[in-house]
Structure 1
């Protein structure tokens, strides 16, 4: 992993949020977002937006950040992500990004949009590694897929949705 002060700050804020302090974590991430800017480094934008979405209970707020994360991923290159960590590849981000969008839409009872994103997540997950990350994403895709099929819009525990990308 490279020494990247912005990524270090993002991960520190995420850790703070996961430790039970989501308000301060959101504030830190929003401050970082303002410094990065909407045209800043795509890896920073993708990672920050992905994790910031997880810090909102409101599915509409989460959706807005998950869309920003997907948009930033579209601007990423394998060269950029490998500069951060040699084992990363952009294609590995997409199953999780689509999974989170599917869950946001499901929670908003927009089941047709949720079905589109869960189908994309399933298709893209076939290329994930057979490790704990890949297994966690595939399991979450199956679970959220079942909830979508059952037209269940109830919130799920965050760890059940797997809000992480390969950058963890």
Structure 2
């Protein structure tokens, strides 16, 4: 597996801050990295990883949704080759279950049930791209819980 580049190391530092409950510090670090990687020449792999992580530290669901949409748009531009160079073992298709789960949850929080169900369905349709490890089970369980909340 490839060693993470400098941008991914910094994103990892932000994730560690979030996991320690330091959401504001994580958001600040992610914002700094964002100014460095966004733009026309931005690497979709970095943009996807950062946006996916930035969404998790937002206090406002509208901002969370914006970042989740950015992550999805960046994933749509990614190739399996680029993801592999970034250290991802599986195909880019494995990103979609989590991305759609997060989007569906945002839309649920906003009361946009049709959009939430759309992304729930898309997440479920893409679940086979994941293996059968602990991460896959966590995402599947999240999709199931969300389906129950939307029922």
What TM-score do you get using the length of structure 2 for normalisation? 0.95
Q: Which residue of 2 aligns with 1:19?
A: 20
* 1: CA distance, partners of 2:19 / 2:88: 26
Shift of 1:88: 2.9
Paired residues, number: 149
* 2: CA distance, partners of 1:138 / 1:10: 25
Shift of 1:135: 0.5
Shift of 1:148: 1.6
Shift of 1:62: 0.4
Provide, for residues 85-134 of structure 1, a one-character-per-residue CA deviation record: whole Å limited to 9, x for no partner.
15132000001000100000000010010000000001111231000011
* 2: CA distance, partners of 1:86 / 1:120: 21
* 2: CA distance, partners of 1:75 / 1:143: 29
Q: Which runs of 5+ in 2 are unaligned?
A: none
* 2: CA distance, partners of 1:4 / 1:88: 18
* Segment drifting more, 98-107 vs 52-61: 52-61
* 2: CA distance, partners of 1:86 / 1:51: 16
| Aligned residues: CA RMSD | 1.0
* 1: CA distance, partners of 2:104 / 2:70: 14
* 1: CA distance, partners of 2:142 / 2:82: 27
Contact 1:38/1:45 (<8 A) preserved? no
Q: Which residue of 1 aligns with 2:77?
A: 75
Query: Counterparts of 1:5-154 in structure 2 under 5 Å?
Result: 5-39=6-40, 40-85=42-87, 87-149=89-151
* Segment drifting more, 130-139 vs 33-42: 33-42
